[in-house]
Structure 1
Amino acid sequence: MTRVQVVDTTMRDGANSFSHQFTTDQVSAIAAGLDHAGVKLIEVTHGDGLGGSSLQLGRAAHSDPEYITAAVKAVKDARIAVLYVPGIATLNDLAVAQECGAQAVRIAVHCTEADCAEQAVRWAREQGLEVLCFLMMSHMVEPEVLAQQAALLDSYGAHVVYTVDSAGALTPSGAAARVRAMRDRVSCEVGFHAHNNLGCAVGNTLAAIDEGATYVDGSLRGLGASAGNAATEVLVAALEREGHKTGINLFDLVDVAEDIVAPIMPRPQVIDATALTIGYAGVYGTFFLFAKRAAEKYGVDSREILLELGRRGVIGGQEDMIIDVAAELASKTGVRIGVGVRA
């Protein structure tokens, strides 16, 4: 069976569910636990990556260098990865992250904009970083189009190229088709990053592995944007049941999830009405809290906001559209601002 590299993103994607308020002590404890369990690659930054702490995207409790340093000091064997989104992060941010001890970077671009990653990929390779590239919102294009974009990232020097289901909109057949198309076009490794809005995160990941993915992502207790990610501990259990090798001690991993992460979670990671609608409408997972807040402020249904965002094809980086759509819906229905309805 396949040897699978499980990457944990609790302290990056999970920061979205925490409104980016992880403490450095929490980061240290989680990183140490993951390292002890045998997880070899751990992602740590603001939920929107390096440079993401802002009024628009949400202020973090600490700076990215502080988070990275806390994680690096806590681990013995694991490598610390950071997220880099062109247009949010700069190469200087990445250089600082490397100085703090980061050894890998995950460079994320929209699924049709691989060329936006070229500069960062080439620079990171020159600096000796492990480079993993994300094609976000991968459900929005057909598999062959996605594979063409993956081939560009491969040509720039990516070690791994990911199909990223940012909206949790894929089902197993769609996940498999995209990974298969990418596997046929690239010479580098292929990865898969799942969200659980349709309840398919672990199933999609298994389908991706069947088609050649060797890097897969999870977060402890599924902690992540909107409905969350594939739960790392559940994913590892499922992989072991399928006969895949991860090098991770399942019960040590479960202990980290139960004893460290569960007590600090602000809310259970469930598929509520808003999270489900994100997957159904195919909109970016980090819109979850923004849509809830806009629904409360403008007295409209968050589901209507998300469906309209989906119809307009709004993607990450266009968070201001959430307020615009909520205000438009409120004006059409004549509701009073501040009168909350279902969120």
Structure 2
Amino acid sequence: MKPEKIKGQGAVSNVHNHFIKNRYETSIYQDDYEEEIAKTEIIEVFPKTIVNPVKSPDLSMAYSMNPYQGCEHGCAYCFARPTHEYWGYSAGVDFERKILVKKNAPELLEQFFKKRGYKPESILLSGNTDCYQPVERKLQITRRILQTFLDYRHPVNILTKNALVTRDLDILTQLAEKNLVTVSLSIPTINEELRRALEPRTSSVNTKLQAIETLSKNGIPVNIMVAPIIPGLNSMEILPTLKTISEKGADSFGYTLVRLNDTVEPIFIEWLEEHYPDRKEKVLHQIASMHGGKLGEKQVFKRRTGEGNIAEMIHTTFRIGRQKYFSKDKDEVFRLATDLFDGTKGEQMRLF
């Protein structure tokens, strides 16, 4: 008899880490859960730097930073899962349960700002795993990072799936007054049932929509990432989603098409078998049709946009939605001030 599904877990198993010689597998049905919620192990690490230059030509940001590695949100499709293998863990359950935290991130950011000759460009917080995942509620590393951005008058773009971002309204509003912040909230679906299966520990759909309203009413520019689009799962929601987020106050949106690179592929296939077995073959076939017959795509520019009839239908639908529901240009929303930065500002602020 198959056990009941476990709440709060995206991956079904620990897929093999190809960097490790010995293979091990862990089922989500082992007896290491408390009240049907996956336990999270917090592991402190001590990096020497925190800001990463972004060199990919199809990405617009110059820098990114990640206070956490691994992510409790448990999104089955997450492109960042394979990065956990570099730390010796699995991209499956380990990615969601073993979270590496960088408590010295604010101090490292300050060191970066003090580099001789540094010229400010907006930094993405974060580009890999979510800076507002559940553990942030307790550790508040992201909050301290935002305070550092405010102290130094440095621009920051925030990307998150969690309405916890509204906790920091006091800092965000001060940054927004100086045109130093945007918040991109990820909303791939407005179907709560799909949301619970697809990204089990993110904020609920209603809470995310409330977050858009809260941020917008407080003068904070809001961009929505309707991503990733997965044909056969959320591709039919595009126009209703754009209409809804526009009505809630979003200024702009972006989107990408799903790609299942490396170990994300077996994780997502297992997830489909668990949650949508009747749609599995159709969904996988349509994903492959967007990437030249493969489920993954690493080629820059193509990896986010795909190709073929299904991809083109998705792009056309988004173009219609943009014309219908949005007036602002996305680049306009993301154009932040860089002329307010002062490398000594942080030290001066601490004197008061």
Does TM, normalized by the shorter one, top 0.5?
A: no
Q: TM-score range by the shorter chain?
A: 0.3 to 0.5
Could you state the TM-score of these two structures normalised by the residue count of structure 1? 0.34
Larger Rg: 2
